[in-house]
Chain A
Amino acid sequence: MTSSNTAMDNQDAKQSKENNTNYMARTTKRWVEPGIRLSPKHSNNGDAVHEPVFDVEDFISPGQLYSTESGCLFHAGRILIVLVGLPATSKTLLSVAITRYTRWLGVRTESFHLSKYTKTNTNIPSFLSDEFSTVEGAEFKKEIINKVTNDMIKFFDNGKGQIAIYDALNIRKSERADIKKTFENNNVKVLFVESIVTDPNLMTKNIELAIQSEDYKNWGKHEAIKDYTRRITDNESLYERMSPIEGVSYIKYLNFGERIIMNNTNYGYLVNKIVFFLMNLSNKQGCIYLSRCGRSDSDKYTDDEVLNEEGLKFSEILTKTVIARVKEKGLERKKKAMEFNKNSKDTSVTADPSVNNDDNLNSDSLVVWTAERKRTYDTAKFFKEHGFDVRKRSQLKQLHPGVVADMTMDEIKEKYPNEVEEYERDPYHYRFSRAESYHDLAVRMEPLLLELEHMHNDILIIAHESTLRVLYGYFMACTSLEVPTLDFTRHQLVEISFNPFNNVVTRIPIDI
């Protein structure tokens, strides 16, 4: 060290001696120092969006830009999001989707579904009209609402929680006023999100999903549809729509983002970020398929090689596998729609069996995104020959390995022993010289994640394992610890399908 400390006053100089040399080192890293690292909690195929976050000390999620000691982010305070809307308006889906996205950003979010609470008492029918005609029913309702309210308060008070999402009908003004009062007294801001569905196809799809739920486990299809549509009509007469006169902050969400109206929602960055997300969220019919690319001769990072014969073979089989699967799923949807129509005869709802599930796939029903490398793009060549839209997306570029490119782990350990030690401590955030970390990759892929949320139909993504890990990590709510450990082999096509409550992974063999 050559610097002279002429300007340093005596006191500082003294302090410097006492505390050794690094008294002025930066101790507040971008990431709060990890305490006890929790090992990955859930196994391979589960969607972790419902895993609790409030008791996790070092919760650092993949898309998080930095962590704070309080655990809260963006000076946004604590927010309760209250969903409002009739049955079959995708409230559960919305609450889960917002949970997934905000958690990805590092916010401690949890959704509270009233329907889960009603299941504890089997004597009372799960039918939850907003006004019970019997005394017993009213008592029961009061009880479960107390229970969920208390759980949410606990989440905020004891558990560093920042956003709670309350998933229930909340169609009465008085109910909403009660919630608002309770939580504002607890220093929590309250935002209502009212979901309205006027599109008959959307409505049908939601009913179809609802009758597959636990509530209707042992019901006949016809009875289930009848019962559920009655739930809707019964509540319709009780429904008080939100308007500026009510004097609360709300967002109206019409037909899955076709229109969004924000009223008096001057809550700042985090709420606006959620609206930003809602603008991109779409009602998904298709799945996301993830596949690696075929092999090239030396498979090196540094070369941009074309596929070799094995790689071409792989591409061919991949194409067949994906098309077969997409067709199969389309037929399944068609069958379901027809069956639904048979069962919904004396109700007003009908499904449209012709929506995007013809036997012949057309170019709208499946698109393919690849990274820009030759072997990745070429893996999609047979899709192109089949007339599908294949697009290169620069954001799918693999993780830049930096100086350790094309080295085996043993070689790296030998050449960079200290670096490896650090890498092993935090494989998600650590980057080798000139490399990208998984975190860098996740941040640079953000636009792509939102574009994927926007997609309605099937999409196949062919990319490097590192990129697939991040995509999978987002859609399956993996922690930052898990992302670098996820496995993608060339023997399996990974299919992520979308359900309101959770996403589901199916691994489809690719026979090579």
Chain B
Amino acid sequence: MVLKKLANEKDLKLCVVMVGLPARGKSFISQKIVRYLSWLSINCKCFNVGNYRRVLGVDNPKYGFFDFDNLNSYNIREKALKLAFEDMLSWFDDATDNKVAIIDATNSTRERRNWIIENCNKNNVHPMFLESWCDDSETIMANVKDIAITSPDYDGMDEKLAEDDFMKRIENYQNVYSTLNTTDDKDVTFVKLINISHEIIINKIQTYLQSRIVFYVMNIRIKPKCIWLSRHGESIYNVEQKIGGDSSLSERGLKYASKLKSLIKENVASNDEQNLSVWTSTLTRTQETAQYLPYKKLEWKALDELDAGVCDGMTYEEIEEIYPEDFKARDEDKYEYRYRGGESYRDVVIRLEPVIMELERQENVLIITHQAVLRCIYAYFMNVPKEESPWVSIPLHTLIKLEPRAYGTKVTRIKANIPAVSTYKEKGTSHVGESSSAKGSHNLLVNAPEINQN
């Protein structure tokens, strides 16, 4: 009988152990999991063994360092793993809410993996191995190029030389690499993604949390891509300072809609343009904003604006007057506050699940949606803590380009230079509009490169 006793275990700590050759997207996947789980309010932290090796003084190792016959360097690498592991254990001890840790390293030998299993068992941590296996040279080369440019190991090195060195490093790993398989590892909890999820092997999943992580990584594609975000153009309700509704665009909003086409054309690489698809909500203002775009379009109910319930169609001043308690409660905990008959930010995050999963699977998508929904999506890609996410400033008539990378998401915002009202409401006031202080910690777009489009 298949007994799944773990399902009822208390305070289970989970350690996701990455497995795979260099340039298989391990760090990328690790960071993705951290962002996704944090977004769902599950505490998660990644421990990158390479960083510990650098702490031990090996900053720019050449490929020879990764020769497994080189005993000296092998010991250093082993020490780095142990340091990472110790840090992980103390992080677990810090708070009972610290639930998921990720050990990001190649972990390519069975010997190493056994060491991890043994030490996890000793410390009541449950390991789950996550292997990214890939023999598609195109994907691998794209990753190699990316690492040669971005990895701290190759700081200041010529790109071409870095690539060559990295290829040799991979070779060194290849000599000792043993992939997870269903014979030797049949009793181990593991997931193996083969060639970007063309085939996936899921073995001995034992808890809900594990299954949730697997469900998520099934959707991840490690190919580089761009996500484009835009609010709808300025709507009549925006001008009237009313929230919600299903109004049409204002004159200026319509201008943005017609400019959006050229804005995209000028900024999207031509290869990407061919397979660009546009997702809108089911509300009029997003569809009007997308009307001139010559791409495939999908309407998502899940992208509809946060439902303001009884407050739909009111101005913030009216809400403050009619529902003063609600108004205050919302400012105090904007993430959890639910409008009467409506939704909270948390509710929106939950209903966005299908959109986020599909988004991970797709290559290039432009999402035209609403302020609160965009804040949630933005928080997901940028790892914005949930207390801050409802306060992120996302101005109208601005196209946001996101490029998810292994160590973070690159943001570019492209202003259409068409004036629009501000719909940003600061804490503690019913006035809308961004004061200079609002551009402080909440405005996470401020540090991003900005392009003005004329």
Give me the interface of A with B, judged by CB distance under 8 Å.
Answer: 1-3, 5-9, 12, 22, 24-30, 65-68, 73-75, 199, 201-202, 205, 244, 255-266, 268-269, 272-273, 275-276, 279-280, 282-283, 285, 352, 355-356, 364, 367, 389, 391, 430-431, 433, 440, 443, 447, 450-451, 454-456
Contacts of A456 in B (CB 8 A): 1-5, 7
Contacts of B9-59 to chain A: CB distance below 8 A? 10
A26 touches B283 (CB 8 A): yes
**Residue pair A25, B1 in contact (C-beta under 8 Å):** no
Listed residue (B215, B298, B318) with the most chain A CB atoms within 10 angstroms of its CB: B215
Whether B2 lies near A258 (C-beta < 8 A) is yes
Once the chains bind, are A199 and B197 in contact (CB under 8 Å)?
no
Sort A-B residue pairs by CB-CB distance and give the 7 closest, nearest first. A24-B247, A276-B215, A279-B211, A454-B7, A260-B202, A3-B240, A262-B200
Closest A residue, CB atoms, query B313 = A25
How far, in angstroms, from A117 to B239 measured CA to CA in the complex? 62
Q: Nearest residue in B to A454 (C-beta to C-beta)?
A: B7
The answer for the CA separation of A66 and B307 in the assembled complex, in Å, is 12
B300 cross-chain contacts in A, Cβ below 8 A: 75
Tell me, yes or no, whether B252 is within 8 Å of chain A by CB.
yes
B199 A261 Cβ-Cβ under 8 A:
yes
A10 to chain B, nearest CB (A): 10
**Does chain A have a CB within 8 A of B304?**
yes
Q: Is B350 engaged at the interface, CB distance under 8 Å to the other chain?
A: yes
In the bound complex, do residue B1 and residue A7 qualify as a contact, i.e. CB atoms below 8 Å apart?
no
Contact with A along B349-363 (1 / 0, CB 8 A): 011011001100100
User: Is B201 in contact with A259, judged by CB distance below 8 angstroms?
Assistant: yes
- Beta-carbon contact of A272 and B312 below 8 Å: no
Contacts of A268 in B (CB 8 A): 357-358, 361
Q: Is the interface of A mostly helix, strand, loop or mixed?
A: loop
Q: How many contacts A-B (CB < 8 Å)? A: 189
Q: How far is the CA of A356 from the CA of B338 in the complex (A)?
A: 46
Given A25-B246, A454-B208, also A3-B4 (CB < 8 A): no
Q: How far is the CA of A258 from the CA of B205 in the complex (A)?
A: 7
Residues of A near B186 (CB, < 8 A) are 259
Residues of A within 8 A of B358 (CB): 74-75, 268-269
Report the Cα distance A430→B309, complex, angstroms.
11
B172 at the interface (CB under 8 A from A): no
What is the bound-complex CA distance between A64 and B347, given in angstroms? Answer: 13
A30: which of B212, B218, B304 is its contact (CB, 8 Å)? Answer: B304
| Contact A202 B2, CB 8 Å, known A7-B251, A9-B251, A75-B298 | yes
Q: Interface residues of B toward A: which range?
A: 35 or more
**Are B301 and A67 neighbours in the complex by a CB distance under 8 Å?**
yes
- Known A-B contacts A199-B2, A255-B2; the reply to A24 vs B202 at CB < 8 A is no
Tell me which residues across on chain B come within 8 A of A355, comparing CB atoms: 1
A480 to B156, alpha carbons, bound, how many Å? 62
Residues of A close to B197: CB separation below 8 A: 262, 266
A residues in contact with B244, CB < 8 Å: 26
A-chain residues with CB within 8 Å of residue B250 when the two chains form the complex: 7-9, 12
Query: CA separation between A385 and B2, bound complex, in Å?
Result: 28
From A6, A27, A28, A259, contact of B203 by CB (8 A): A259
- Chain B 131-180 interface residues, beta-carbon cutoff 8 Å to A: none
**Nearest A residue to B323, CB-CB:** A433
Hey, which bits of chain B sit against chain A, CB under 8 A? Answer: 1-5, 7-8, 10, 182, 186, 197-205, 207-208, 210-212, 214-215, 218-219, 234, 236-237, 239-242, 244-248, 250-252, 282-283, 298, 300-302, 304, 307, 312-313, 315, 317-318, 326, 338, 340-341, 343, 347, 350-351, 353-354, 357-358, 361
Q: How far is the CA of A258 from the CA of B3 in the complex (A)?
A: 10
Whether B202 contacts A7 by the Cβ 8 Å rule is no
Contact between chains at B208 and A27 (CB < 8 Å) = no
Which has the most chain B C-beta neighbours within 10 Å: A26, A205, A259?
A26
Closest-by-CB residue of B relative to A6 is B239
- With contact pairs A276-B214, A279-B215, A282-B2 given, residues A28 and B199 touching in the complex (Cβ less than 8 Å): no
CB-contact partner of A12 in B4, B199, B236, B354, under 8 A:
B236
- State the Cβ distance, A43 to closest chain B Cβ, in Å: 32
Whether A280 contacts B211 in the complex (CB less than 8 A), given A25-B246, A261-B200, A391-B10, comes out as: yes
**Beyond A26-B283, A260-B202, A283-B1, 7 additional pairs, beta carbon < 8 A:** A9-B251, A26-B244, A265-B200, A269-B219, A275-B218, A451-B207, A454-B208
A451 touching B312, Cβ below 8 Å: no
A12: chain B residues within 8 A (beta carbon) = 236, 248, 250
- Judging by beta carbons under 8 Å apart, are B204 and A264 in contact? no
How far, in angstroms, from A2 to B317 measured CA to CA in the complex?
Answer: 9
Please measure, in the bound complex, the distance between the C-alpha atom of A268 and the C-alpha atom of B248, giving whole angstroms. Answer: 32
Q: How far is the CB of B39 from chain A (nearest CB, A)?
A: 15
Chain A residues closer than 8 Å to B204, beta-carbon distance: 258-259
Q: Please measure, in the bound complex, the distance between the C-alpha atom of A201 and the C-alpha atom of B3, giving whole angstroms.
A: 12
CA distance A49 to B444 in the complex (A): 48
Contact, CB under 8 Å: A5 / B240 = yes
Cα distance A139–B10 when bound, in Å?
57
| Interchain CA distance A115-B246 in the complex, whole Å | 50
Assembled-state Cα–Cα distance A153/B302 (Å):
29
